[in-house]
Amino acid sequence: MTRTQIQLPEPLFGKLKRIARTRDVSVAEVIRRGMELYVQTCPDPEPASEPWTMPVLRGSGGHLVDPATIKAEASAIEHRSH
């Protein structure tokens, strides 16, 4: 089983706690059961016809941009603004 963290609005968490208490199970169990039902209602995603590749990035002038240079360029712009 995988551990994860989620953030819930207080009203929702309160409802989950009440449901768990009335059914004598943990809040985690209520969430698991809810997610199992949710997953059953969602269609399986169709497999991609082609493997994903990095999209071509274009600079402001429409020219091709090497993704490896983006961070350096962004850092230089940020440095100039200080």
Q: How do residues 4-21 score in pLDDT, each as one tens digit?
A: 999 999 999 999 999 999
Residue 54 lies in a domain: no
User: Which helix (H) or strand (E) element contains residue 64?
Assistant: strand 64-65
pLDDT tens digits, 34-80: 999 998 888 787 776 777 777 666 666 666 666 666 666 667 777 77
What predicted TM-score, i.e. pTM, was given to this entire model? 0.53
Q: Which amino acid is at 72?
A: A
CA distance 27 to 10: 13
Residue 22 located in a structural domain: yes
Within-domain flag for 21: yes
Domain assignment of residue 33, yes or no: yes
Q: What count of other Cβ atoms lies within 10 Å of the Cβ of residue 33?
A: 13
As for how many domains the chain has, the answer is 1
The answer as to whether 80 is a domain residue is no
Task: Flag whether 16 is in a domain.
Answer: yes
Q: Give me the pLDDT at residue 19, please.
A: 97
- Domain range for 15 is 10-41
